């Protein structure tokens, strides 16, 4: 994780301040508010602000004014019911804002989730830092032969070293050329008075997707959980999953009852199609069901067998 001195000073100043409020706050999330939590080699996630808690979800569902004499077990039961039956509106009453530093190729995956408010660092206005992502050796893998958008066996030996060398050399060369085309220092003065320099909005096109960008990302709890259900999944690309796992822990701190229900009913749950459910019922009735007699396609049959912990052959 890399943080500039200016960013660290801002974090220290923010964490050094306290404010009285009548709004509900969550001590476990307050403990890490503004703090930069490391992700990948140079990235981070920070919680900048949040609104609501588990009680806000319950309040929205009941349209009531306060906790009264309700017990935590009653709130837990209601939140589990809402999650189980896909009543999403009460979860939309909570919001959270993150500051994220991430590789551009991860950002391009992330931005596909269009249910948030985003403001990204502008390379038209500012000069990008010379920071790029290099995978750790254990995440440097070959193309999967079974999954067109996945990874296979981890590279090793001379091939792995050569790939890492190419990644570093290409990124370093690209940034050197970026800086040469800009012909300006961070304060805006030219490096060489003999050249005018290329506009920032054009010079940036030479940089690779491995370079880091930053943004503020604000989202409601329902859409955050949808994001995490896809990006914290084992099938998600490792790099975006690394961010999702940190965010999942922040959700646990922020809304522990909702986190519990989400893990039980969404993240670690399995949904069957009507055809798959019919096949399971036939199995429970003692019938021998094969892929050919199930009415399911090969892929769905394989997924069903994996969910049931059975051999699909």
- Closest to 247 in 3D by CA, of 226, 266, 224: 224
To the nearest 10°, the Cα dihedral for 69, 73, 74, 80?
150
Burial of 53 (0-12, 13-18, 19+ CB in 10 A): buried
Tokens of 302: 């394989």
231 is catalytic: yes
Please name every residue paired with 190 in a beta bridge, in sequence order, or none if there are none: 184
> DSSP string covering 163-206, please?
HHHHHHHHHHHHHHHHHHHH-B-TTS-BS-TT-----HHHHGGG
Alpha carbon distance 68, 260 (integer Å): 23
Q: Which among 46, 231, 252, 310 is annotated as catalytic?
A: 231
Say if residues 115 and 226 touch (Cβ distance below 8 Å): yes
HSE value, Cβ hemisphere, 13 Å, CA-based, for 122: 4
Say if residues 44 and 37 touch (Cβ distance below 8 Å): yes
> DSSP string covering 66-95, please?
S-TT--HHHHHHHHHHHHHTT--GGGGG-E
Alpha carbon distance 295, 49 (integer Å): 50
SS3 content of the chain, % helix, strand, coil (to 5): 50, 15, 35
Query: Hey, which residues are catalytic here?
Result: 231
């Amino acid at each position: 994780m890399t943080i500039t001195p200016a960013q660290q000073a801002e974090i220290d100043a923010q964490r050094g301040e306290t404010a009285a409020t009548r709004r509900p706050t969550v001590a476990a999330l307050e403990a890490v508010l503004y703090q930069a939590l490391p992700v990948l080699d140079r990235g981070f996630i920070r919680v900048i602000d949040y609104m609501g808690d588990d009680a806000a979800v319950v309040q929205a569902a009941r349209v009531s004014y306060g906790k009264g004499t309700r017990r935590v077990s009653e709130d837990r039961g209601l939140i589990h019911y809402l999650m189980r039956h896909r009543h999403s509106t009460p979860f939309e009453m909570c919001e959270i804002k993150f500051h994220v530093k991430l590789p551009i190729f991860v950002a391009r995956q992330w931005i596909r989730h269009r249910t948030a408010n985003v403001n990204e660092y502008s390379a038209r206005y500012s000069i990008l830092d010379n920071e790029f992502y290099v995978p750790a050796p254990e995440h440097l893998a070959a193309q999967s032969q079974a999954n067109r958008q996945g990874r296979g066996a981890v590279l090793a030996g001379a091939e792995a070293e050569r790939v890492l060398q190419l990644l570093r050399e290409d990124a370093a060369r690209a940034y050197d050329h970026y800086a040469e085309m800009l012909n300006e220092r961070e304060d805006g003065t030219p490096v060489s008075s003999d050249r005018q320099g290329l506009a920032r909005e054009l010079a940036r096109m030479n940089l690779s997707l491995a370079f880091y960008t930053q943004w503020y990302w604000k989202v409601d709890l329902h859409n955050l959980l949808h994001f995490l259900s896809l990006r914290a999944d084992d099938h998600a690309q490792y790099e975006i999953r690394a961010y999702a796992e940190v965010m999942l822990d922040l959700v646990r701190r922020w809304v522990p009852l909702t986190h519990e229900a989400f893990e039980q009913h969404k993240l670690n749950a399995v949904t069957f199609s009507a055809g798959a459910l019919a096949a399971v019922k036939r199995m429970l009735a003692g019938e021998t069901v094969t892929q050919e007699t199930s009415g399911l396609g090969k892929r769905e049959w394989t997924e069903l067998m994996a969910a049931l912990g059975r051999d699909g052959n």
